[in-house]
Amino acid sequence: MQRMQILTKDELAVWTWLVSKGIGNAMYGLSGMIGCELAVTGLSLKQIAAKDAAELLGGPENMVVGIYLTISGDATGHLMLAHDPKIAFELIDMMTGQPLNSTRHLGEMERSVMGEMGNITGSFFLNALADATNMTLTPSPPAVMIDMAGPVLDVALTKIMQEQDEVLVVETAFGTANRQISGTFLVMPTMEFLRAILKHSFFTSIKC
């Protein structure tokens, strides 16, 4: 098995700092889009077996709306924004100016709204990382899925498992002050992504 190298203390500190900066920017972008302020309520970095990754989204059979983007450019990786379907529908209502509980399924228009949310989150996150490291990081067009957490995560895990059996994941929970809207933002870098981004971080004195 190709066991992932565990990051050194310094590398972990740099990665944590970069991710926090990226996620702060992503929440700023997302807040602007949905018109209310979102805050990070929990952020953790985990190294877990790929087979256990669905537990991050409530277990393999838990229904979620997942917005998936891949990262390309100077490094590759995977981003997944996941919501409980009920909350995803509420977000769509908020963004389209409809009364709450108007949205009950994901049609073409609703998928497009969710995709736009993924675009904003992904590009704001990657812009912050790219700025801090002088790298080119581009998000792919978003893919919106409504299904069980297992199948939704499969799209990213199959690519990751071509290289490794474990996944280094940044799990972010966020919500509004009254926590009515919450979601999970997963950042799943490939080892190549981590190596590239850490190398760039060390060589380009980070603008802390």
Residues of the shown chain interacting with another protein in the complex, contacts defined by CB under 8 A: 1-2, 49-52, 54, 59-61, 63, 68, 70, 115, 140-145, 147-155, 157-159, 161-162, 165
- Minimum distance between the CB of residue 123 and another protein, rounded to whole angstroms? 15
- Minimum distance between the CB of residue 51 and another protein, rounded to whole angstroms? 3
Q: Are strands 166-175 and 39-49 parallel, antiparallel or unpaired?
A: antiparallel
Using CA atoms, how far apart are residues 182 and 164, in angstroms rounded to an integer?
30
Nearer of residues 18 and 80 to another protein, judged by Cβ: 80
- Minimum distance between the CB of residue 153 and another protein, rounded to whole angstroms? 8
Angle between helices 108-133 and 85-95 (to 10 degrees): 90
The C-alpha angle 155, 122, 18, rounded to 5 degrees, equals 105
Nearer of residues 24 and 60 to another protein, judged by Cβ: 60
Nearer of residues 20 and 76 to another protein, judged by Cβ: 76
Question: How do the residues of the chain divide into helix, strand and coil, expressed in percent and rounded to 5?
Answer: 45, 25, 25
The end-to-end CA distance of the chain, in Å, is 37
- Minimum distance between the CB of residue 48 and another protein, rounded to whole angstroms? 11
Nearer of residues 73 and 141 to another protein, judged by Cβ: 141
Both tokens of 184, joined, read: 């999970």
